[in-house]
Chains A and B, each alone.
Chain A
Amino acid sequence: MTGKGVFYRIKKDWVLYLMLLPAILYFSVFNVIPLIGMKLAFQDYRIIGDNIWVGMKHFNVLFSSPAFMDVLKNTVIISTMKMVFFFPIPIILSLMINEVRNGPYRKYVQSVIYLPHFLSWVVIAGVWISLLSPVDGGVNVIRNFFQLPSLDFMTSKDHIRWVLVFSEMWRSSGWDSIIYLAAIMKISPALYEAARIDGASTLQQMRYITLPELASTVITVFILNLGFFMNAGFDQVFNLINDSVISVVDIIDTYVYRIGILNGQYAYATAASLFKGIIGVVLILSTHFISKRFTGKGVW
């Protein structure tokens, strides 16, 4: 091919460009146009005629709005709670699954705990609303067994964020453990062999072999999650939110939906989501470079 001109190659490969065309066209329309459409954040939306440029107006309103500050606070709190309380669970789970030597039992456990990952948040919300029902819901049945009074978790501002954390655990712990389990599989059996000869117990092997070997995967997954920090789980909140608890679980994405789609304040809502998007991109880019620096692996 060398020696022939670029134009010759392009002409020769016209079929390839034709095959690529649908994708390029698709991304240009459905990704690039809405991306450029984010400029609406600096405009006032007009149904008839062109939008008017208004500069930072919407951002000024946004940052002086107590409602948005609440939403921002909720987003950070919910994401942090998930980072602290949910994040370690799949790691622990993978350590435990790794200890199961009985093939069929291992298969049973894995098949069951992966299942919720494939259910939509609509279904999971349905399951959890029923599970947490103050009337004979599973959790309250257990509480009553221990002589504790029934609680209405779904409408309690003190509990609803924990409902988010625990329903996330229910849905994702199993599935998220796969990535750690795969990393554990790659650890050399010779390490365990040597430890066993030295008389290390199962727990000691976990603590001194598996965990250290797992560290780089844990760091990678952690910073990857950090990139999505501002998301806080739209689908989950969208389906578990209700009027009694909206003040403590309303996050940026649900706020954008309500203000934008339901109330039709397109420009203002776009400003809120652009703000979130910028923080997201900064987080993703910085995690990419931090990850590259410390683990040698980037996010992409």
Chain B
Amino acid sequence: MSHFKKLNWTRTTIYIILFSLSLAVLIPILNLLAMSFSDPLKVHELKGLGIFPKGFSLINYEVLFSNPLIIRSILNSIFLTIVGTSLNLFLTAMTAYVLAKTDFVGKRFVIIFLIVIMVFEPGLIPEYLLIKDLGLLDTYFSLILYKAINVFYLFILMRFFEDVPDSILEAARIDGAGHFRIFTKIMLPLSKSGLATLGLFYGVYHWNEYFRATIYLTDPNKWPLQVVLRQFVIERDNTSLLGAQNVLSYDQIAALDFGSLQAGTIIISIVPLLIFYPLILKYYAKGALEGGVKD
């Protein structure tokens, strides 16, 4: 046996392929980042694979952050994400506690009901008509109440709850604590990682939600960021973005690069996800696995 480790060609090739794949993910995003910080007059020099800005300018972000529609949509998204996720978490956790940790007449029936709910997805149109009939069109209730409890996530949280030892709950019960008290004072504090996981599931969902907002909200002032982004990047509607400008002179508007503004909007909508990404990596993946893979 040689004392020198032979270079493992298979492994080296794999390292190189994986590195290329990571670039394939990163470069298109970094290119948009570079585009958004480029000088609008020089941005045409930036090719599709470039990751460094040509010149440097904050003009795109100045334009975007002085646009009332964008500002409002960011606030709307933050509001919807926080309120929506809180409601999701509360309802899901309360239901998960009852189903995972207690025994009552009719439990089996409830579980079967939930599985049926999970399998039979109602179609888009009856759902739309329901929201319409309830008078929820153009209100945030239409978005917050949609999937207020995600059955799949509920089952995942039940698994987290099952890990909490029954003896602790039993002790509290003997001390005279009621179910709701045990739920808020013992179950929730003991399941922080489960709640964090679900919070991220729901949070990412709310931040990225655009479709229901597109069909339920007709008032642009109520739109979340994703809808404005879609209007701007996919529908290529630049008037709604530039029309409302009053901070720039005509010369400045003429100098703006539409593509760079689009890039800036995309970057703005990614940033919150990047901020939470370390947490997402820590909890989300683990939670998805525990829920998705059955032992």
Contact = CB atoms under 8 A, between A and B. Distances in A.
A194 interface: no
Nearest to B273: A118
Nearest to B146: A30
B230 A277 contact: no
B17 A239 contact: no
Contacts of B125: 37, 40, 256, 260-261, 266, 269-270, 273
Given A99-B10, A115-B277, A260-B128, A139 B289 contact: no
A175 to B, nearest CB: 8
A79 B19 CA distance: 29
Interface in A106-145: 108-116, 118-120, 122-123, 125-131, 133, 136-142
Contacts of B120: 35, 277, 281
Interface residues on A, range: 35 or more
A6 B105 contact: yes
Contacts of A139: 48
Contacts of B58: none
Contacts of B29: 127
A120 B91 contact: no
Nearest to A182: B289
Q: Select the residue from B124, B269, B289 with max chain A CB neighbours within 10 A.
A: B124
A110 B284 CA distance: 13
Nearest to A8: B105
B226 A122 contact: yes
Interface string A5-33: 01001100101110110111011011111
B49 interface: yes
Interface of B: 8, 10-11, 14-15, 17-19, 21-22, 24-29, 31-32, 35, 44, 46-49, 91, 94-95, 97-99, 102, 104-105, 110, 113-115, 117-130, 145-146, 148-149, 178-180, 183, 204, 207-211, 215, 226, 229-230, 233-234, 259, 262-263, 265-266, 269-270, 273, 277, 280-281, 284-285, 288-289, 292-294
12 contacts: A13-B102, A15-B180, A19-B98, A32-B117, A109-B21, A122-B233, A123-B266, A126-B229, A127-B28, A130-B28, A141-B49, A239-B230
